[in-house]
Structure 1
């Protein structure tokens, strides 16, 4: 969404921000997906952990960013 916004504005400032954010800093991107994980742990005798209850939780998955390719601003 951020990339689309910068490309839609298409001026010198938005292009500098896009190139800096995506090409130079290479800020990582992620998407949130639902995953079933242990949400409540218990400890059995002897210190052995186990899962008492599972539930759906958000899980961040890293996504490879593509380079930012600005077009020339309209004058």
Structure 2
């Protein structure tokens, strides 16, 4: 979204970009692989792992 606004090079796109990214300061999220236990032993120790994508919040780069 940010890239599209920058590429438009219009005053309207710049206005929306400044409002959305600089003033409202919404958070972004990125997906990262996270190691998750899929099978536990009777004692609670993990016996099998699998990588699943998990979303993590991060701050936006200013416009």
Shared topology, TM-score over 0.5? yes
* 1:18 and 2:13 matched: no
Gaps of 5+ in 1: 69-75
Shift of 1:54: 2.8
Q: TM-score scaled to structure 1, two decimals?
A: 0.62
TM-score (norm 2): 0.71
4+ long deviations beyond 6 Å? none
Report the aligned-residue RMSD: 2.3
Structure number with larger C-alpha Rg: 1
Report whether the alignment pairs 1:9 with 2:4.
no
- What is the distance in 2 between the residues matched to 1:22 and 1:35? 28
**What is the count of residue pairs matched by the alignment?**
63
Stretches of structure 2 that go unaligned for 5 or more consecutive residues are none
